[in-house]
Structure 1
Amino acid sequence: MAKKSLFSVPLVRELMVVLVIKLMLIFAIKIIWFSEPVDMTNPQDAVSQQFGFSTTTPSQSEDQQ
């Protein structure tokens, strides 16, 4: 009796195709959106302005008084 190949079962073939497609999509997403490092150097003034805070530092406000 000849032993059947694992890939001769239709369900196994279909699952393997789906897994290969999913892996390709995951690697494509990784390459497209996560390939470059994120620049985390935001100027403090721009961040403060976005949150609606005053852009003066405490040392500047003490000098004005």
Structure 2
Amino acid sequence: MAERRSVFSIPLVRELAAVLVIKLALIFVIKALFFSDPVELTDPQDAVAQQLGLSSQTSFQSSSPQSEAQQ
């Protein structure tokens, strides 16, 4: 009878399994670092303005200089 060898005794299979395990570990590390906290989107305009370093007032909410000059 033929001797049964383990699948992992083949060098290509061992190498592919090692690469797969490393890639899965990297994916989980990246997921934990960048996607661990949920993002609160109660007011997305304020969140974007805060990230960009802009004021929280938008241009259509603030009064224009022309209307102030007329008053």
TM range (shorter): 0.5 to 0.7
Q: Could you say if the C-alpha distance between residues 47 and 29 of structure 1 is closer, same or farther in structure 2, counting changes exceeding 3 Å?
A: farther
Deviations 1:4-55 (A, max 9, x none): 1100000000000000000000000110100001122334x7273xxxx321
- Which residue in the other structure is 1:8 paired with? 9
- Structure with a larger share of its residues in helix: 1
Aligned positions, number? 54
Give structure 1 regions of 4+ aligned residues with deviation exceeding 6 angstroms: none
- Provide the secondary structure at the position in 2 that maps to 1:36: coil
Structure 2 unmatched runs, 5+:
47-54, 63-71
The equivalent of 2:56 in structure 1 is 46
What TM-score, normalized by structure 1, do the two folds share? 0.66
